[in-house]
Structure 1
Amino acid sequence: MKTSFYILFFAIFNCTVCWSQNQAVFGISDNSFNQENCLTNTSDYSKFQLVVLDEDVSINDLDINVSVNGNVQNFNAIEAFNAFDFKFWLLTNNGFDSGNNLIILIRYSVGGTVSNETITICLQRVSVTDDNDRGDTKSPDYVTLDVYFGTDRNDTKNTTLNKRFGVKRSSLKYGIVEVSIPHDHRVGEIESPSIWKFEFSEDPSKHLMLQKVKLLDRTKFFKKLAEDIRRSDKKSSFLFVHGYNTSFQEAAKRTAQISYDLKFEGKPVFYSWPSQASTFRYGRDEKNIKWSQKNIKLFLEDYLSKSGADDIYLVAHSMGNRGLTKAIVDVMNENPNLKANIKEIILAAPDIDADVFKNNIAPKMVSSTEKPITLYVNSDDLALKASKLIHGNARAGDAGEKLVLIDGVETIDATGIDTSLLSHSYFADTNSIIADIFDIIKSGKRAINRKHLYLTKLKDKIYWKVKK
């Protein structure tokens, strides 16, 4: 009876078992599947556990190989398999696309005899009607996230939320923006209306949208932020400073998307300086990020001292790196004790002179913070190529001949992984980079231990490349 049960159990999973006694040794503890027995984006992954069916079997030399859509994860212990975030991995690798299967190949030895078992599980994306595991409020079509912000843009008072903050310089303001994310959101995307789909207005069931904006005074802002962080699972927070050609609403949506895709268990915060949100206003953006540096420094100082977060991640993109890196150096010079809760500094595609960054900015950051710094670079980045033409010098985010390699900074070369037109926002819309940042935040692993990367050398220096 027991053997028949196991045979029936694995028939459900299309399991091919190769064992000398034709009896399965391994199984999945719970069948969280739909009517077609497929694992879905809504399954309860806390119950998706690999178990040994026969406790009397002594297993040695265990090797578990899991693959989907050409992507592979390896484990040498059941505990490692069961601790892995399969839902996030499947989402980032488009595992729920039509026709994909999750293949679990298990190699082990029993009494000196090497055996193999293969479990094949179909995967399926389903529409969500009431799942809200990463949002703050329930809705049939979307979840919402509260995103904290500081900005020195002008308040237009426009009732259209996408136009609430303009492109002019103004005093420093604080607030919370509520961003909705559709249940069918795909990792790395900021879904927006498309004329090719005959979509001419935003729909929260299909697109990321700003739902509410609430301004707070400085005291109330940091008090509420600290209270929310204290109630969060990990008591953590990240601060994101956006780059060139970015509006307030785009920065808010990007911050929400990053937080949602990373399954961040803390509170997301962003700083929006008065970028002109125009490809053709690069010069004005340069002047405005320089003008905003004082305000960014004030905001960062308050954020580090008043947020109450145990773990703080500082993230910047493109031209935003100019504001954040200078603010970090200035704050550390004036109050070095504020480095205590900084967990990681992540600099993506920095539009900073490579020589200035290498010889001046980076050494000061390394020595003053004594915290891990990750630098993402890419030689396909057309925005940085244009910046190089304008300035006549390579940029710190370029992976070309001026590749920045210095002690205390882990350089990650993301060349070739982003197929978008500009290849400039790869840090937040490319699955492999999102997965790498996820690994940094979730595990704290350094580059040498992260499976999405492989080590390479340039003369006497080492850096890492992203696996394609």
Structure 2
Amino acid sequence: MPEKMDLRVRTRRFAGPGRAASALVTLLLLAGCGGHAKGVMTPVAVANPATTSQVDMLVATTRQPSGDPATLFSGERSPTLSLTDVAVSIPPDSRRKPGTVQWPRRLPPNPDSDFAVTRVRELPSRDEARNWFREHTADGHVLLFVHGFNNTYEDSVFRLAQIVHDSGAQATPMLFTWPSRARVLDYNYDKESTNYSRTALEDALWSLARAPEVKDVTILAHSMGTWLTMESLRQMGIRDGGIAPKIKNVILASPDIDLDVFAKQFVELGERRPKFTIFVSQDDRALAVSRLISGDVSRLGAIDPTAEPYRTQLERAGITAIDLTKVQSGDRLNHGKFAETPEIVQLIGQRIVKGQTLTDSQVTLGDGISAVVAGTAKNVGTVAAATISAPVKILEEPVSRRKRPKLGETLQSGTGAAAAAN
């Protein structure tokens, strides 16, 4: 086998009928899931506020209002951005396991044992949103969460509340929720909804960057939400030659992004980029399904971070990668480990949001992943090897100087090298 080759050929050579059948079975299982209680957005009173915790968040959405206070917003698309002040009560730690969302078994929810919405207030103007930030941004740090595929409005609200509470992040929470129909078979609709929402997210990021109360922004994006995040940042980079300086950190958890595409997105952010951290897992069954329906091209969140040339490429690009393959969690699809593993979500809140590297002796993550996480680059703080898909030449060479390859040419140092095997 030649030393240099188009890695996409190698990827597809090992993608046989067994893998396709397994992915199809997973898709069918997903479609058959019963789910949890629906319609939890109607506020309830908390009888024992001293025993519960509360997470206040600003929610921005491109979803269409549902007209029902129990759901607030549907999975359809709205031409205007809606802003809402939402408060979520979280039961005592003695009543729940960290990393889990305690969905109510019946409605209305019981705040002593369930996650429960305690306040919903529409913010019809940007001035009111700015006032909200003045009231809630004590230290100037903002954590913006962008959810993934197959999420309702309430799914994303409760997930962000859980992440903020369990991580201990000293940051103002903001949610950007895009129009997902929350149906497994609507994957393509959801993907187009992320494209529909690109400019709205970019505008929201610019608003944060211009707010005097905000010192820095960390973006935490999951699954298909990582595509939306990269596209919005790419737009910002193309318009302005780089990313707004206040956007300090970008965390991509289980990124559902074609490797070739991520390579180009990363370059087109411009020379002024935030710090990137990527959480990957080779046993992610949801990304296996995504790969199957996306032309059998590997997804960024499912590659092997120990394989070259990616290890070296990531170090040179300054991107941190954390491999969660050996981490056990309660997620049977292995797609939400970043939020459902207490040590990982605490790492996000206590280290990454503050812009700290992950290669020093202060990182303690528990027996489940202590053997997986290890620093490899003195200058960029790479964890558990390289996960970047873009080759070094593309990362270092300006877009205007690159030559377009001829049709069929092996992209040994171009975007074709991005498609590594799972």
- Matched-pair contact (CA < 8 Å) for 1:353–1:395: yes
| Whole-angstrom CA distance in 2 between matches of 1:248 and 1:355 | 31
- Matched-pair contact (CA < 8 Å) for 1:394–1:402: no
The one of 217, 236, 254 aligned to 2:124: 217
1:155 aligns with 2:59: no
The equivalent residue for 2:21 is none
Aligned pair in 2 of structure 1 residues 200, 331: CA closer, same or farther (>3 Å)? same
Q: Which amino acid aligns with 1:247?
A: T
Q: Which amino acid aligns with 2:297?
A: N
Q: Which amino acid aligns with 2:336?
A: S
1:183 aligns with 2:92: yes
- Matched-pair contact (CA < 8 Å) for 1:210–1:249: no
Aligned pair in 2 of structure 1 residues 139, 235: CA closer, same or farther (>3 Å)? same
The equivalent residue for 2:291 is 388
| Whole-angstrom CA distance in 2 between matches of 1:443 and 1:226 | 19
Shift of 1:418: 3.1
The equivalent residue for 1:8 is none
1:432 aligns with 2:338: no
The one of 328, 343, 357 aligned to 1:418: 328
- Matched-pair contact (CA < 8 Å) for 2:178–2:197: yes
1:144 aligns with 2:54: yes
Shift of 1:446: 1.2
1:360 aligns with 2:264: yes
**CA deviations over 1:34-71 (Å, ceiling 9, x no partner):** xxxxxxxxxxxxxxxxxxxxxxxxxxxxxxxxxxxxxx
What secondary structure sits across from 1:421 in the alignment? coil
What secondary structure sits across from 1:269 in the alignment? strand
What secondary structure sits across from 1:438 in the alignment? helix
Shift of 1:366: 7.0
Shift of 1:192: 1.1
Shift of 1:401: 8.1
What secondary structure sits across from 2:374 in the alignment? strand
Q: Which amino acid aligns with 1:314?
A: I
The equivalent residue for 2:81 is 172
Q: Which moved more, 1:315-324 or 1:409-418?
A: 409-418
Unaligned runs of 5+ in 1: 1-135
Shift of 1:137: 11
How many pairs are equivalent? 319
Shift of 1:267: 1.1
The equivalent residue for 1:376 is 279
- Matched-pair contact (CA < 8 Å) for 2:142–2:173: yes
| Whole-angstrom CA distance in 1 between matches of 2:132 and 2:318 | 31
**CA deviations over 1:231-262 (Å, ceiling 9, x no partner):** x1x22111111000111111111111111112
1:260-339 maps to which residues of 2 (within 5 A)?
260-306=165-211, 308-335=213-240, 339=244
What secondary structure sits across from 1:150 in the alignment? strand
The equivalent residue for 2:247 is 342
- Matched-pair contact (CA < 8 Å) for 1:225–1:307: no
1:76-91 maps to which residues of 2 (within 5 A)?
none
- Matched-pair contact (CA < 8 Å) for 1:147–1:267: yes
Shift of 1:276: 0.9
Aligned pair in 2 of structure 1 residues 444, 288: CA closer, same or farther (>3 Å)? closer
What is the identity percentage for the equivalent residue pairs of Structure 1 and Structure 2? 25
Unaligned runs of 5+ in 2: 1-45, 386-422
Aligned pair in 2 of structure 1 residues 307, 178: CA closer, same or farther (>3 Å)? farther
| Whole-angstrom CA distance in 1 between matches of 2:212 and 2:147 | 20
What secondary structure sits across from 1:428 in the alignment? helix
Aligned pair in 2 of structure 1 residues 254, 221: CA closer, same or farther (>3 Å)? farther
Shift of 1:398: 0.8
What TM-score comes out, normalization by structure 1 length?
0.63
- Matched-pair contact (CA < 8 Å) for 1:192–1:208: yes
Larger radius of gyration: 1
**CA deviations over 1:279-320 (Å, ceiling 9, x no partner):** 222121111111111222222221222262112111100000
